Structure 1
């Protein structure tokens, strides 16, 4: 697997995205909800890959939930960068990475798919995330 590193601007949140999909072939999703549009978010996930999130100061990590509250949107409180989203209602946590937070973001060149999830029920949203998002591992550095 190839590992793509990234994180927030100030370094409080660091990310490692492991995948076998080349950056230029990675499906990018441009969610059209108001939160993602305000952040100009491009999301990616490889269900066969893995995301690792390392946080230096957990007090500086905002876990924002909205809508159906089936995910937490991770934003650094210090520098304001949106880095990832993690499921909040399942035992096995799944995640997407925000490609803009990756150090090699310029390599992810595929045309983004405009996505609208407004018509999904809570159960449909959870099922889609379980199928399409990737496993995630957290660690808090002290």
Structure 2
């Protein structure tokens, strides 16, 4: 479902794209001022993302809101440089998002396969490979290109 909301602080109209995991334990709201046709879809080429058929998006001027009903059913997976939490529902197995950073500095990508209106994000995915990045380089790229995230439990 795509709904319009109003970002009062910025005075901008935001598009809200809802979604979540298959069983409903994890719910997502991706807010962006951009139309899906304007957002670059990235297909990470790491083995984790390839195995999940991941297509990810982010808007540094938008935000991702993640609501988790049962925290015990949320799995955070780490690999490689261990600089991000990959969020997977333990119950249904759906990979929904990745988060890097802590608290107010946390940034995220959303996996468009987990959005209800995923077909609207129809740009050809751009294959990306970040294996050559070091820890600092990776963190800087995420701060610049990923979006703010809010997460709630219960």
Name the TM tier (shorter chain): over 0.9
Q: What is the TM-score of this pair, normalised by structure 2? A: 0.89
Q: 1:60 aligns with which of 73, 90, 104?
A: 73
Q: Which runs of 5+ in 2 are unaligned?
A: 1-13
- Indicate conservation of the 8 Å contact 1:28/1:110, yes or no: yes
For these two proteins, the number of residue pairs brought into alignment is 141
Q: 1:79 aligns with which of 92, 96, 111?
A: 92
State the alpha-carbon separation in 1 of the partners of residues 87 and 29 from structure 2.
Answer: 15
Q: SS of the counterpart of 1:74? A: strand
Residues 1:37 and 2:61 are matched in the alignment:
no
Deviation of the 1:26 alpha carbon:
1.2
Give 2:15's aligned residue: 2
- Indicate conservation of the 8 Å contact 1:70/1:89, yes or no: no
Q: SS of the counterpart of 1:21? A: coil
Deviation of the 1:102 alpha carbon:
0.1
State the alpha-carbon separation in 2 of the partners of residues 90 and 117 from structure 1.
Answer: 24
Q: SS of the counterpart of 1:136? A: strand
Deviation of the 1:124 alpha carbon:
0.1
Residues 1:13 and 2:26 are matched in the alignment:
yes
Describe the superposition over 1:60-113 as per-residue Cα deviations: whole angstroms up to 9, x where unpaired. 000001000000000000000000000046751000000000000001000110
Q: Which runs of 5+ in 1 are unaligned?
A: none
Q: 1:123 aligns with which of 136, 141, 148?
A: 136
State the alpha-carbon separation in 2 of the partners of residues 91 and 127 from structure 1.
Answer: 15
Give 1:112's aligned residue: 125
Cα RMSD for the two superposed structures: 1.0
Counting only pairs closer than 5 Å after superposition, residues 82-101 of structure 1 correspond to structure 2 as 82-88=95-101, 92-101=105-114
Look at both structures and tell me which one has the larger radius of gyration over its CA atoms: 2
